[in-house]
Amino acid sequence: MDISTLMKQVDSYTNEFTAFRRDFHKHAEVAWTEFRTTSKIIEFLQERNIPVQFGLDVINPEYTWSYPNQEILEKCQKRAIQEGANPDLVARMNGYTGAMALIDSGKPGPTYVFRFDIDCNDIDEAKENSHRPYAEGFSSIHENCMHACGHDGHATMGMILAAVLYENRAQLLGKVKIIFQPSEEGDKGAQAVVMKGLLDDADMAFGMHLYPTDGPQPALAGTQKGLYATTKFDVTINGRSSHAGASPQTGNNAIMAAVMAISSMQSFLQDGRGPTRLNIGTISGGTGRNVIPGKCFFRAETRASDTDAEKRLFNSAIGCVKAACEAFGCTYDVKIMGSCPTGSGDEDLAAQIVEATSIVSDLKTRQLVLNNTGGTDDFAYMMEHLQNRGKKACYMALLTNITSDLHNNYYDFDESCLPAGVKSCLAILHYFYEKIESGK
Amino acid sequence: MDISTLMKQVDSYTNEFTAFRRDFHKHAEVAWTEFRTTSKIIEFLQERNIPVQFGLDVINPEYTWSYPNQEILEKCQKRAIQEGANPDLVARMNGYTGAMALIDSGKPGPTYVFRFDIDCNDIDEAKENSHRPYAEGFSSIHENCMHACGHDGHATMGMILAAVLYENRAQLLGKVKIIFQPSEEGDKGAQAVVMKGLLDDADMAFGMHLYPTDGPQPALAGTQKGLYATTKFDVTINGRSSHAGASPQTGNNAIMAAVMAISSMQSFLQDGRGPTRLNIGTISGGTGRNVIPGKCFFRAETRASDTDAEKRLFNSAIGCVKAACEAFGCTYDVKIMGSCPTGSGDEDLAAQIVEATSIVSDLKTRQLVLNNTGGTDDFAYMMEHLQNRGKKACYMALLTNITSDLHNNYYDFDESCLPAGVKSCLAILHYFYEKIESGK
Amino acid sequence: MDISTLMKQVDSYTNEFTAFRRDFHKHAEVAWTEFRTTSKIIEFLQERNIPVQFGLDVINPEYTWSYPNQEILEKCQKRAIQEGANPDLVARMNGYTGAMALIDSGKPGPTYVFRFDIDCNDIDEAKENSHRPYAEGFSSIHENCMHACGHDGHATMGMILAAVLYENRAQLLGKVKIIFQPSEEGDKGAQAVVMKGLLDDADMAFGMHLYPTDGPQPALAGTQKGLYATTKFDVTINGRSSHAGASPQTGNNAIMAAVMAISSMQSFLQDGRGPTRLNIGTISGGTGRNVIPGKCFFRAETRASDTDAEKRLFNSAIGCVKAACEAFGCTYDVKIMGSCPTGSGDEDLAAQIVEATSIVSDLKTRQLVLNNTGGTDDFAYMMEHLQNRGKKACYMALLTNITSDLHNNYYDFDESCLPAGVKSCLAILHYFYEKIESGK
Amino acid sequence: MDISTLMKQVDSYTNEFTAFRRDFHKHAEVAWTEFRTTSKIIEFLQERNIPVQFGLDVINPEYTWSYPNQEILEKCQKRAIQEGANPDLVARMNGYTGAMALIDSGKPGPTYVFRFDIDCNDIDEAKENSHRPYAEGFSSIHENCMHACGHDGHATMGMILAAVLYENRAQLLGKVKIIFQPSEEGDKGAQAVVMKGLLDDADMAFGMHLYPTDGPQPALAGTQKGLYATTKFDVTINGRSSHAGASPQTGNNAIMAAVMAISSMQSFLQDGRGPTRLNIGTISGGTGRNVIPGKCFFRAETRASDTDAEKRLFNSAIGCVKAACEAFGCTYDVKIMGSCPTGSGDEDLAAQIVEATSIVSDLKTRQLVLNNTGGTDDFAYMMEHLQNRGKKACYMALLTNITSDLHNNYYDFDESCLPAGVKSCLAILHYFYEKIESGK
């Protein structure tokens, strides 16, 4: 593999890196509604004759957590088309976003998977001149939709990587799959991809995520470790209204049931197997001041550094909901809105990544591990899927300047790091192909 | 006072009773936004040359609980004008609804006050053919606005009463004040009227409210008793958001503070002085599932059969909010949205009302007292105002067929009871004028 | 009935009134352990040949709430005998205290029941010279046992009443039953007496209780009204201990389950049917600071002015225990320790009592009703038993000087009121016998 | 240092190892009452002329957490003397247990500290033949006192170590201090020793604790790591009693204040800095079922893997107590009963320990670290004291057969491991003296 030529090809896309990223940023789409983003990716690939799958060929619809209702989907499809999505492609997506480029060398060899996520956050982007995307005219034009986690950059890297690899496919071994995953925010999309079987033949899987650094940049961490297991869930409590003055006793107070459930849950946060988290992120209930409230709804999540501890905490929380509802004569409904297991890349593979990327001169430094304690990413599902089969996976961090915390409405990153990301992926392939060819 | 002639005059308004009631019902307006209703009342009175005060002549703006913001006021004024309110009158209201007809006999004598409330509930009216107002085309055309407590009928009775009395003013003694009070729902308007001084010279005050009965109807109860004291209040808790996974400890959890405050309050419901009530009618808080919630808001009310017990319960509830906010590092804001004391009409006056209305043949039966335990009405402020000065007041109940509970979206009442209500007021005046004239 | 002679006979017992009351006071015995008190009553009656039943002839053992264990019973029986109880009588009691004097006139006529309770409170009596019983040497010699509710006086009145009636039995009609009821404190004994059938033939039943007054005394109230329904119950929660540092998640935290149950219960205090009460009087749980607590116990009671409201509150409280235990993986045990329904004497009978006792010159005043809102007395069971059969009952209050609140360790009362109590009972019999004899 | 001779001398104490351990086990004494244990240690040392300090020479009384009251101290002193303690020594202890043997080589060199704890647990020892100490007659004769954490073995090792070292003091360098620390259970004693200054001149400090192992035994771990920071605290809440039926509103309910405080605390268990623990180990409150409880008391502890996280949790818990007491009109008192920081021995020193003890043939295996996550030991204070001054410390684990969990009433260990513990200490000294002498 003529790695130095490939790297130069990456550099030839400098304008595209910026243009694609900003286009995605401006037309940010939240989980399961990335119709325009997916359309743009597919068109880019098809223009280059790169084989691409999408729609029900990449998604198992039985595992699409928090999938939106038809009304929202149609509204977002219409919006996507108005803003330049290909109507035919959108129609063929059948309501399911995401895509996979399949680059087959035609030679025997391993199957390596690279995963890039493509959805945005449900955040209203800052509209101030101090915020570069706004000042330079590429801030999100969609209300409550903002790329505040860098997935616009991830998608862009995936596209360029696919282009360079396909152009040089004769130099590869086996196959490379580049997955453009929808709905990573809330850990809602990876399982649908895994359960479609796309990773069943993978020998290695690599994820990549932009992270802030205070040191020299761009830089690379071989893998993230310590991703927590999590369950995202919505709880609806149904009671019965009554007049708060005349007959409070004939009502079944849904707000009080929620209060008691939430209060009780806190007692289950201790676990000898590791730290845990529980958050009631939003709550809403009741209809009027003088009416015993007949309904209450809350959005919650549990997390833990240990998968069993997370399961116990989630089950205990639901047990508290059940118990409180019994005590208050209410019924309840729990809806799983997302979930993923704990995740840590393999350290020996991470060490190889560090070694492999020594040839990427864009990178100022390399480190073995980035501890992402308390964070979650549903790439953990993909890692688990490989690790359960005795295969290896790593969730690399591309470290760069970022203007704020992740998920903040002032988030912006330095686009000049993106080529380094693509080159790192190429260097990894180069490293393992060399090994295979040298028979080690 | 030629009472039988006056009663016949009431009967001549049969069409108006139905027409006005249905017009008000169709254009229902919630508390402090009764611009069209007030305009229609003023025009009716002015067409008959009946002296009428309104705007800042009937309202003390320092006591207008839950007064809406300018944006809402302007929207409602514009809507009122579009739907037939007199633009000049709306302008002269200065933002304050309600009116008072002043009927002066020109002779010495007592000042008697009749109070009718005019606002609707914030309820969406049923849109089904089984619901007569919808079937007959007079259901509310305003979203989340519905006369589900009969104030449309009350306002109508006040108008006809004013018309008949003014036409026969030569037969009266002293003065009669007919107050069209805004904003009774939530007990928000009476204090503003009282603090304007409108009842300072009153010798007696009478309220009237439609109530359901299973017995023969229409019927009259001399007074309601057992109205609870109440405080309506809104609580906003402000904490600090943080990432629920990475740094829960740097947030100040406003939902948990609310949960603890609400939970703690329940312990203060016991009071040896009488039954109490506490309701958290609505709650809303938080912004996202994975963010420690920085804000929580709830609407609450306390009630009690004893004014001091109500004060204690309210103060204890606020004490719980304060304490929980301290524990969770949050700040809070409590806004009083309405309040009134306990109220019970004078039983001896009620007995006189029963006696006085024996001449109203429309009434099928009369009873001394209707116990309205647990209910509230801010007419209690007016009763208290008179009773504190050694005067008497009664809060009559006009009993009729009502299709549902009060404050229900299927509420409807039998308009044929309305003349009996007006005649009862006339009979009361006749009774006391007879007493005065006979020197008893 | 030669009432004036009978009254003089009462006065001849002046010394006994004081002596018996002080002897009972000094040897105070708590619920179900009144072996010495019962023995002394039986001996007094038997010395006068008055027919007396006791043991299983007055108690249905299936309804003996909070009945002590064998060890406590034996200890108290031994103590009673050491302090002068008749060993033979104690043996024949078969473990069940209480007695009934049956005075049969031999003539046809009604059966009237008078009930006096005999147990003391579980309070440590004040040991200071300012407390008269201590200064004069008749304070309780039993630890945590004190007559702080006047039952020593009640028992004494019952004995003298029995003596005078039996001596003059020829002047009576029908029968008079004088019940010396054990275990009134905690509402634990009346049901066992009622379910034994002792009141099945009663035409009227009268209870009597000493109450404090600030007015002239002694005085009499024809009946108490407003006694609350109540349930006394003990809750034991069993969880599982574990090491609080190493494995909190393997424990089932009984204290946290109790905390959540207790917290939740408070929400059920509101009831449109009337005021309610809930008290967790004591709590204890856990074994060591660093052990997840495996056990928690609490003593609680519910009360309400309405029997159904009390039942609902009790059931809701137990529902909260059940729910919390499910949430925390604990089991629980609820033990009913006492209970009684609401109670109010019949006002028309009370009026007759007021009339009948006009001949008792010891009484300074008489009143129809004493409102005992929030209080409980299991005489309510007896009243209910008669009222359910269409009969009448009253729970009279003998008003006198009392040095403190009831159930206070400084409680003392003025013994000079006791003859007035006995005379009132005689006057009532005289009044109704006159009526019967005069055929009214 | 002629290490093989010293080791043989250790073996000559085989009988004493068993005899002392069993004597201490039989006469187990809880924290701050180890008068007999201390007396026996002092006598053993003084018989051998080993310099020993005790009483106020080893304890700073200002830092004696949970120090018992005078009555308990006197009772335990009397018991100790009855069971063979030296009355003169007990008197000279001045109420403060613990001792330190000071072995001075007379030569320049480092000061090394060995710490052994001597108190027992407040546990009732199993009295069954399946429990060896009971079957063989050396189970604890003191109610609620049991060596269930091996401190009887620790004290014994310290004594033999002192004897062997003193006999061979000419072979040492510098000084060796052997501290017999009282009151380790509950982390109550170490700070008093540290604040007396005994470790101010220490160059290294070594603790040793018996731990169970499933592998070959005896074995040694160079250090424990992951000891949590902790605070042990007692909370007393004072409210005001009132009659639960008549006037619940005049009471200040101490149990409800505790319930709310405890419930609220649970919300503070999440911390991004590491896992935390909170336990309400015991609770007791109230006086009677029908009395609003005026008092509630609970014993609690907080722990965390991070000292700041532990401080935050403790402060938040106290904040919840403060807040709940304000809401319920109660006052409160918080008493610190014990505390220690996080602790982890130095891994490089642990590695040297593993190397040094390679010559101890009794040891079957050696390991670098024993993770004691969630556990606490106030030896952490001593480690922190040295580490803050740039010195090293390790908390070794002597691994052996133990019949149950620590702090269990069936705890017993295999005494044959004890010589290996003492020999390990000697080997460590030998290792470092060699280094010093060889100039490395």
What Å distances lie between residue B76 and B36, B88, B259, D42, D90, CA to CA? Answer: 9, 15, 36, 91, 89
CA dihedral A320, A321, A322, A325 (to 10 degrees): 120
Both tokens assigned to A233: 């869930």
Residues B426 and B7: beta-carbon distance below 8 Å = yes
Any D CB within 8 A of A250 CB: no
Instruction: Compare all CA atoms of chain A with the CA of B260 and give the residue at the minimum distance.
Output: A263
- pLDDT of A440 reads 67
Residues 6+ apart with CB under 8 A from C51: C45, C101, C102, C103, C104
Q: How much is the pTM? A: 0.89
pLDDT digits (tens, 9 = 90+) for B214-256: 999 999 999 999 899 999 999 999 999 988 988 899 999 999 9
Listed residue (C190, C228, C404) closest to C304, CA to CA: C228
What mean pLDDT is predicted for residues C310-329?
Answer: 97
Any C CB within 8 A of B270 CB: yes
SS3 C96: coil
Contact at CB, D245 and C407, closer than 8 angstroms: no
Instruction: Compare all CA atoms of chain A with the CA of C315 and give the residue at the minimum distance.
Output: A327
Tell me the pLDDT band of C374, cut-offs 50, 70 and 90: confident
Contacts of B260 in chain A (CB under 8 A): 263
Provide the shortest C-alpha distance from residue D332 to chain C (in Å): 18
Residues 6+ apart with CB under 8 A from C389: none
Listed residue (A110, A1, A91, A102) closest to A39, CA to CA: A91
Any C CB within 8 A of D267 CB: no
Tell me the pLDDT band of C365, cut-offs 50, 70 and 90: very high
CA A293 – CA B28 distance, rounded (Å): 24
Listed residue (D303, D271, A268, A303) closest to B249, CA to CA: D271
Of D260, D277, D283, the CB nearest to C283: D283
Side chain identity at residue C329, one-letter code: G
Residue C172 has pLDDT above 90, yes or no: yes
Of B246, B291, B300, the CB nearest to A289: B300
Contacts of A300 in chain B (CB under 8 A): 289
Return the half-sphere exposure (C-beta side, CA atoms, 13 A cut-off) of residue B357: 29
Q: What are A335's strand-pairing partners?
A: A234
Q: For all residues of chain A together, what is the average pLDDT?
A: 96
CA D258 – CA D235 distance, rounded (Å): 9
Residues B382 and B205: beta-carbon distance below 8 Å = yes
Any A CB within 8 A of B286 CB: yes
CA B88 – CA C13 distance, rounded (Å): 91
Contact at CB, B301 and A289, closer than 8 angstroms: yes
Query: In the block, which residue shows the tokens 């060929």?
Result: A57
Helix locations, B3-150, DSSP H: 3-11, 14-26, 35-47, 70-82, 87-92, 132-135
- pLDDT of C440 reads 67
Any D CB within 8 A of B79 CB: no
Residues D394 and D206: beta-carbon distance below 8 Å = yes
- B3-227+343-437: CATH topology: Aminopeptidase (3.40.630)
CA A313 – CA B415 distance, rounded (Å): 59
CA C418 – CA C17 distance, rounded (Å): 7
Which one of D282, D296, D336, D342 would you mutate to disrupt binding with C, by most C Cβ within 10 Å of its Cβ?
A: D282
CA B316 – CA B308 distance, rounded (Å): 12
Listed residue (D248, D193, D207, D218) closest to D346, CA to CA: D207
Which one of B260, B264, B265, B267 would you mutate to disrupt binding with C, by most C Cβ within 10 Å of its Cβ?
A: B267
pLDDT digits (tens, 9 = 90+) for B122-164: 989 999 999 999 999 999 999 999 999 999 999 999 999 999 9
Provide the shortest C-alpha distance from residue A401 to chain B (in Å): 20
Max intra-chain CA distance, chain B: 85
CA dihedral A310, A316, A317, A319 (to 10 degrees): 150
CA D298 – CA D314 distance, rounded (Å): 14
Listed residue (B406, B401, B411) closest to B126, CA to CA: B411
Of C267, C278, C374, the CB nearest to B272: C374
Provide the shortest C-alpha distance from residue A185 to chain D (in Å): 21
Contact at CB, D319 and B327, closer than 8 angstroms: yes
Residue B373 has pLDDT above 80, yes or no: no
Residues D42 and D101: beta-carbon distance below 8 Å = no
- pLDDT of D237 reads 98
Classify the C-alpha dihedral B163-B166-B169-B172 as positive or negative: positive
Give chain A's count of helices (H) and strands (E): 13, 14
Side chain identity at residue C253, one-letter code: N
Q: Which chains touch A (3 or more CB pairs under 8 A)?
A: B, C, D
How open is the CA angle C141-C146-C150, to the nearest 5 degrees?
A: 130
SS3 A94: coil
Residues 6+ apart with CB under 8 A from D169: D103, D104, D105, D106
Where are chain D's structural domains? 3-227+343-437, 229-340
Listed residue (B217, B14, B19) closest to B136, CA to CA: B19
Tell me the pLDDT band of B439, cut-offs 50, 70 and 90: confident
Side chain identity at residue D348, one-letter code: D
Side chain identity at residue A53, one-letter code: Q
Max intra-chain CA distance, chain A: 85
C-alpha gyration radius of chain C: 23
Q: Which H/E stretch holds residue B433?
A: helix B418-437
What Å distances lie between residue C295 and C325, C332, C333, CA to CA? Answer: 11, 10, 11
Any B CB within 8 A of C373 CB: yes
CA C360 – CA C4 distance, rounded (Å): 9
Any A CB within 8 A of B190 CB: no
pLDDT digits (tens, 9 = 90+) for B26-36: 999 999 999 99
Which one of B188, B289, B301 would you mutate to disrupt binding with A, by most A Cβ within 10 Å of its Cβ?
A: B289
- pLDDT of D287 reads 87
pLDDT digits (tens, 9 = 90+) for C243-256: 898 889 999 999 99
Q: For all residues of chain B together, what is the average pLDDT?
A: 96
What part of D 86-145 touches C (C-beta under 8 Å)? 122
Side chain identity at residue C236, one-letter code: T
C-alpha gyration radius of chain B: 23
Query: Phi and psi for B117 in degrees, rounded to 5?
Result: -95, 155
- C229-340: CATH topology: Alpha-Beta Plaits (3.30.70)
Burial tier of C73 (Cβ tally within 10 Å: 0-12, 13-18, 19+): middle
pLDDT digits (tens, 9 = 90+) for C63-104: 999 999 999 999 999 999 999 999 999 999 999 999 999 999
Contact at CB, B283 and A284, closer than 8 angstroms: yes
End-to-end CA distance of chain A: 17
- pLDDT of D405 reads 83
CA D304 – CA D269 distance, rounded (Å): 9
Any C CB within 8 A of B287 CB: no
Contact at CB, D301 and C289, closer than 8 angstroms: yes
Q: What are C394's strand-pairing partners?
A: C206
Residue A185 has pLDDT above 80, yes or no: yes
Residues D156 and D425: beta-carbon distance below 8 Å = no
Residue B407 has pLDDT above 90, yes or no: no
Side chain identity at residue B270, one-letter code: Q
SS3 A211: strand
Any B CB within 8 A of D290 CB: no
Tell me the pLDDT band of B284, cut-offs 50, 70 and 90: very high
Q: Which chains touch D (3 or more CB pairs under 8 A)?
A: A, B, C
Query: In the block, which residue shows the tokens 């729970």?
Result: C395
Provide the shortest C-alpha distance from residue B271 to chain C (in Å): 8
Any C CB within 8 A of A328 CB: yes
Listed residue (B417, B425, B397) closest to B162, CA to CA: B425
Q: What are C101's strand-pairing partners?
A: C52, C178
Instruction: Compare all CA atoms of chain D with the CA of C295 and give the residue at the minimum distance.
Output: D282
What Å distances lie between residue B399 and B179, B349, B363, CA to CA? Answer: 21, 19, 9
What part of D 294-323 touches B (C-beta under 8 Å)? 309, 312, 316, 319-320, 322-323
CA A97 – CA A182 distance, rounded (Å): 6
Both tokens assigned to D223: 């250090």
Residue B405 has pLDDT above 90, yes or no: no
Which one of B263, B265, B270 would you mutate to disrupt binding with D, by most D Cβ within 10 Å of its Cβ?
A: B270
Intervals of chain D under pLDDT 70: 440
CA A382 – CA A202 distance, rounded (Å): 10
Classify the C-alpha dihedral C63-C69-C74-C79 as positive or negative: negative
Provide the shortest C-alpha distance from residue B260 to chain A (in Å): 7
Provide the shortest C-alpha distance from residue C414 to chain B (in Å): 28
Contacts of B326 in chain D (CB under 8 A): 319, 322-323, 326
CA B219 – CA A7 distance, rounded (Å): 94
Q: For all residues of chain C together, what is the average pLDDT?
A: 96
CA B116 – CA B158 distance, rounded (Å): 6
Listed residue (C63, A335, C373, D70) closest to B274, CA to CA: C373
Helix locations, D347-416, DSSP H: 347-356, 379-388
Burial tier of A175 (Cβ tally within 10 Å: 0-12, 13-18, 19+): buried
- pLDDT of D58 reads 98
CA C176 – CA C166 distance, rounded (Å): 9
Contacts of C247 in chain D (CB under 8 A): 374
Q: Cis check for the bond before B212: say yes or no (omega within 30 of 0).
A: no
Return the half-sphere exposure (C-beta side, CA atoms, 13 A cut-off) of residue D186: 26
Q: What are A296's strand-pairing partners?
A: A237, A285
- pLDDT of C372 reads 81
Taking residue C234's Cβ as centre, other Cβ atoms within 10 Å add up to: 16
Tell me the pLDDT band of A396, cut-offs 50, 70 and 90: very high
Which one of D270, D278, D279, D320 would you mutate to disrupt binding with A, by most A Cβ within 10 Å of its Cβ?
A: D270
- pLDDT of D1 reads 85
Classify the C-alpha dihedral D117-D120-D121-D126 as positive or negative: positive
